Amino acid sequence: MSNLLSLVHHSVEKYPDHTALMWKQNGTYQTLNYRAFWDRIQGVAHALQELGVKPGSKVAILSNNCPAWTIADIGIMMCGGVTTPIYPTSTAAQIEYILQNADVEAVLVETDALGERVRSVATEALHSIIVFHPTATPEHPGMLTFDAVLQRGLQLLGKKGPQTEWKSISDEELATIVHTSGTTGNPKGVMLTHGNLFANVDGCREYLPTFPTDVALSYLPLSHIFERTCGQFTMLTNGATFAYCEGLPHITTNLMEVKPTVMTSVPRLFEKIYDGVMNTVREGSKGKQRIFRLAMKVGKQQITAPTFSSKLLHPLLDKLVFKTIRDRMGGNIRLLVSGGAALSPTVGEFLKIAGLDVCEGYGLTETSPVIATNPVTDLRIGTVGKPLSNLDVKIGSDGEVLAKGPSVMIGYYKNPEATREVFTEDGYFMTGDIGEFVDGYLRIVERKKNIIVLATGKNVAPFPIESAITRSPYISQAILIGDKRKYVSALLVPDFINLEKFAAENSLNLPTVQLIEHPAVKALFENELKTQLIDFANFERPKKFSILPAELTLESGELTPSLKVRMHVLQQRYAREIAAMYEETPEVAAI
């Protein structure tokens, strides 16, 4: 049997009294063991069947992470339904598109407000809206509370007994339709089967083993396949505990409360940890700065080529410098998994020296998602690790990473043309990424469509340059521009905390909009670019730049839910700034 339910059921049978889920309620973390967890899953499955959900029915979940999300997800699959996640930040128009595109028949939502948003764009096929956390009794026909649905399901469970249909679900049957977050155009519905998800969870175990003693803190949206597969499914199919963060603003507090051993994240969180430490060091005394530099040097020696002195000094320096960082993450972290975007090698090396191993991986929604990951026992910083052993991964003639295997999607829902476009004639999925193998480890050079081809014919890979730029304490984000133009330019997002300190030190009491245009700030950023990009070729360095007045955010539409930059949005929003960087002028100041 190769459906996910069989893996979860194995945990239930082997660890019935072990904690499956943890969540914050009334100020403290609550727990649910595997036995009760399985009962609730069966209850939801019975209730959904009574509401008309049949094998193949599409059921959407529109909510932030919570226990009901996970229970509903597996309950939908248990009765043969197809889970269709929708990001809770989605607009009414985006929700309407997915409801129609995926033929959704029922929706589980987090709040009354989201329920109303769904109701405002409801399709004819939609017969039920179930609210996880209502503030009042639903008044509209077809709107129900999750508690009422669950109670009805548990009654049915008592009368009918355990759900047994799930045991006959084959690996070819559809488990979920996940819409790509997409940086351009409408999202496509990626069809993943039970076999796809089973194979990916199984394939990850070799390099990223988890155990019943593990606790994972989840803060990435479960609507994204990375968190759902590598977080939720991986933990629950190994008898471990899956804990929910209250949200990114609360992550520091929740880390101390949950004390996780495992965590999945996009690079942005790790970058913020690194930036915070670097800022603290810069503000510290000369003596503390010297101790930090020595700790970094000795820590690197311990990893690469231990010496007698490094072995002697490392325990003391680790306790003085790096233990504090680990303690702020709960003190028990043994495995961090990074995905969704490229991790800066500088950040990866720093965290490894600090005793926090980050296993960078790589994949796409279409591959369930993991294609490759660094084994926890043998990290290679700067690579995305080894391909999973149940996948065939190769580099195409043009450098594109190609993948074939049991975790590759069966296609895009109701879009055979788009499906054909992403597979080679011999059945390999075309990832759209340029890569290379180094001693069996995969290194991603850049997204194929992100490669900047200058008017001069030179090719520029943005990520290494953007990553180097953000090593500056004054630059939080960098986005390179220049495709089909004469030279590279950059949109720069300041580290506003450090920029304010610079402004105070230089008596620049100005609003942000005026501050970023001040000659002293322009000169500061120009010097930072020179310093950080000294090792790059002249044609790779931005010749002009524009400083943006605010962070790029998910809420503004500038980032996807997986925190990738939506270039078309930036190009529209900052069209004037971009145009100004390419005005025909007699001279272009070289940086």
**Of the candidates 98, 113, 105, the residue with the CA atom closest to the CA atom of residue 142:** 105
Closest residue by Cα to residue 499 from 531, 467, 466, 477: 477
Could you tell me the two tokens for 300? 């690197």
pTM for the full model?
A: 0.86
Strand-pairing partners, residue 361, are 373
CB proximity list for 141: less than 8 A, separation 6 or greater:
none
Q: Which CATH class is domain 451-581?
A: alpha beta
* Nearest C-alpha neighbor of 101 from the set 159, 187, 40, 214: 187
Look at phi and psi of residue 331 and say left if phi exceeds 0, alpha if psi is from -120 to 50, else beta. Answer: left
Largest CA distance in the chain: 83
- Tens place of pLDDT per residue across the chain (591 aa): 567 899 999 999 999 999 999 999 999 999 999 999 999 999 999 999 999 999 999 999 999 999 999 999 999 999 999 999 999 988 899 999 999 999 999 999 999 999 999 999 999 999 999 999 999 887 788 899 999 999 999 999 999 999 888 999 999 999 999 998 655 568 899 999 999 999 999 999 999 999 999 999 999 999 999 999 999 999 999 999 999 999 989 999 999 999 999 999 999 899 889 989 998 998 999 999 999 999 999 999 999 999 999 999 999 999 999 999 999 999 999 999 999 888 989 999 999 999 999 999 999 999 999 999 999 999 999 999 999 999 999 999 999 999 999 999 999 999 999 999 999 999 999 999 999 999 999 999 888 888 898 988 888 989 889 999 999 999 999 999 998 899 999 999 999 999 999 999 999 999 999 999 999 999 999 999 999 999 999 999 999 999 999 999 888 888 877 677 888 889 889 999 999 999 844 343 333
Whether residue 369 has a cis bond before it, omega within 30° of 0: yes
Could you please report the per-residue DSSP string of 11-40? HHHH-TTSEEEEEEETTEEEEEEHHHHHHH
Do strands 335-338 and 262-265 pair parallel, antiparallel, or not at all (unpaired)?
parallel
* Burial of 497 from C-beta contacts in 10 A (0-12 / 13-18 / 19+): middle
Spatial contact of 204 and 372, defined as CB atoms under 8 Å apart: no
Determine phi and psi for 106, rounding to 5 degrees: -150, 150
Q: Cβ atoms within 10 A of the Cβ of 84, count?
A: 27
Strand pairing of 392-395 and 400-404? antiparallel
Backbone phi, then psi, for 290, in 5-degree steps?
-65, -40
- Looking at residue 541, what DSSP letter applies? S
Instruction: Give the strand pairing for 544-547 and 189-193.
Output: unpaired
Three-state secondary structure string covering 368-395: CCEEEECCCCCCCCCCCCEECCCCEEEE
Calpha distance 392→232 (Å, rounded):
25
Q: Are 525 and 478 in contact (CB under 8 A)?
A: no
Instruction: State CA 548 to chain mean position distance.
Output: 24
* Domain assignments of the chain as residue spans, ordered by start: 451-581
Q: Which residues pair with 546 in a beta bridge?
A: 491
Contact 510, 503 (CB under 8 A): yes
Cα 464–Cα 467–Cα 472 angle in degrees, nearest 5: 135
Q: Give residue for tokens 């993450």.
A: 329
Nearest C-alpha neighbor of 130 from the set 144, 110, 113, 115: 144
**Residue 165: per-residue pLDDT:** 83
Nearest one of 475, 456, 459 to 533, comparing CA atoms: 475
What pLDDT is stored for residue 561 in this prediction? Answer: 72
Number of H helices, E strands in the chain: 22, 26
**DSSP SS3 for 447:** strand
- Cα dihedral sign for 561, 564, 565, 567? negative
List the end-to-end C-alpha distance of the chain, in Å, as a whole number.
60
In a 13 Å sphere around the CA of 137, the CA atoms on its Cβ side amount to 2
Provide the H-helix boundaries in 383-458. 416-421
CB atoms within 10 A of CB 6: 15
Residue type, 547: I
Question: In this predicted structure, what is the pLDDT of residue 564?
Answer: 78
Nearest partner of 521 among 497, 542, 547, 541, judged by Cα = 547
* Structure-derived torsion over alpha carbons of residues 166, 241, 132, 3, reported in degrees to the nearest 10: -20
pLDDT at 580: 92
For the purposes of burial, counting CB atoms within 10 Å of the CB of 315, is it exposed (0-12), middle (13-18) or buried (19 or more)? exposed
Phi/psi of residue 192, nearest 5 degrees? -120, 130
Contact 532, 468 (CB under 8 A): yes
| Residue 545: strand pairing partners | 490
Backbone angles phi, psi at 188, to 5 degrees: -105, 145
CB atoms under 10 Å from CB of 463, counted, come to 16
Could you tell me which of 502, 557, 497 has the C-alpha nearest to residue 525? 502
